[in-house]
Structure 1
Amino acid sequence: MKIVGLSGSIVGSKTRTAMERTINIISEKYPEIEVTLIDLADFNIQFSDGRNYLEYEGDTAYVTQTIMEADAVVIGTPVFQASIPATLKNIFDLLPEKAFIDKVVGFVVTAGSPKHYLVAEQQLKPILAYMKAQIVQTYVFLEEQDFYRKEIVSDDVIFRLERLVEDIVTLTKTYESIRKEKEAEYGF
């Protein structure tokens, strides 16, 4: 099983901190899983121009192909101006319409205010549903108070991250089992 963590911003540290913690939980609890963290701040990604994702080169090709090869994706996003950042939206635009078909997708949202929790509900979930993701319905929402010196200090948040990881792994295994069972029905 391959899980990709995508930290969807090129600025700030909170989303990266939350995604690193999430990836560490996956690695510790499920050492057999191949896990990759992609922090968009570490890459030079081209703007989408409508080409097939396989036609891009360099960092853009690496990021899109790594996401496409994953069985599950954990998306980390901050909330800027009551919206997801353009860098994350660009990744969605680079990928094909059905990029997340047969993939389980969970997400972690960081924001400065509790009023921004609906960004995930009203922006992120509809995009992922359109792209055919199997969405983990509960996500982890972190606020300013959950961090101190680039560390997560809330035990509740850590518990919710552990539960998100467990849900992602369980759902990915379940959907894989269902797919194999359906394929076996064809008998060829």
Structure 2
Amino acid sequence: MKIVGLSGSIVGSKTKTAMSYTVKSLKEKYPDAEVTLIDLADYDIQFSDGRNYTEYEGDTGYITQTIMEADAIIIGTPIFQASIPATLKNIFDLLPVNAFLDKVVSILVTAGSAKHYLIAEQQLKPILAYMKAQMVQTYVFIEEEDFYRKEITSDDVLFRIERLVEDTVVLTETYAKIREEKEAEYDF
């Protein structure tokens, strides 16, 4: 199973910190899974210009190819100005409409205010649904007060991250079994 953790911002540390905890949990609990963390701050990504994702080279080509080959994706995003970052939206724009078909996608959100809780529901989930993702319905929402010096200090948040990891893997395995059974029905 290939799982990609996508830290969807090029600024700040909270989303990267939360995604690091998430990837650590994945690697500890599911050592057989191939886990890749993509932190957009570490790459030079082109703006989407309408080309097929296979035509991009360099960092942009690597990121799009890695996402397309994944079985599951955990998207970490901060909330800026009551919206997802443009860098994350650009990743979605680089991919085809059905990029998340047969993929499980889960969400982790960092925000400075509890007032941004519904941004994932109102902005991110509709994009993922349009791109055919099988979504883990609950997501982890982490506020400013849950961090101290680039560490997560809330045991509740750590528990919710572990649960998100487990739900992502279980849902991915479940959908894979369902697809195998469906394909076996065709008998050719």
The residue that corresponds to 1:4 in the other structure is 4
Whole-Å Cα distance in 2 between the matches of residues 13 and 107 of structure 1? 17
- CA deviations on 1:36-64 (whole Å, 9 max, x unpaired) are 00000000000000000000000000000
Q: Distance in 1 between matches of 2:187 and 2:23?
A: 38
State the shift of 1:73 in Å. 0.1
Q: Deviations over 1:5-47 (max 9, x none)?
A: 0000000000000000000000000000000000000000000
C-alpha distance in structure 1 between counterparts of 2:93 and 2:185, whole Å? 35
Question: The residue matched to 2:132 in structure 1 has which SS?
Answer: coil
Q: Which residue in the other structure is 1:17 paired with? A: 17
The match for 1:81 is 81
**Aligned equivalents of 1:38 and 1:111: distance in 2?**
20
Task: Give me the CA root mean square deviation.
Answer: 0.3
Deviations 1:80-102, CA, capped at 9 Å, x for gaps: 00000000000000000000000
**Aligned mates of 1:122, 1:136 — CA distance in 2:** 15
1:118 aligns to what? 118
Q: Which amino acid in the other structure matches residue 93 of structure 1?
A: D
> What stretches of structure 2 of length at least 5 have no aligned partner?
none
Paired residue secondary structure (1:91): helix
Residue 171 of structure 2 corresponds to 171
Partner of 1:51: 51
TM-score (norm 2): 1.00
Instruction: State the alpha-carbon separation in 2 of the partners of residues 79 and 171 from structure 1.
Output: 26
Unmatched 5+ stretches in structure 1:
none
Letter of the 1:186 partner, please give it. Answer: Y
Identity rate, percent: 79
TM-score normalised per structure 1: 1.00
CA deviations on 1:114-147 (whole Å, 9 max, x unpaired) are 0001100000000000000000000000000100
Taking the aligned partners of 1:44 and 1:169, their CA distance within structure 2 comes to 30
Tell me the distance in 1 between the aligned counterparts of 2:138 and 2:155. 17
- List aligned pairs for 1:66-105, cutoff 5 A: 66-105=66-105
Report the Cα distance in structure 2 between the residues aligned to 1:167 and 1:144, rounded to whole angstroms.
Answer: 24
Counterpart CA distance in 2 for 1:100 and 1:23 is 20
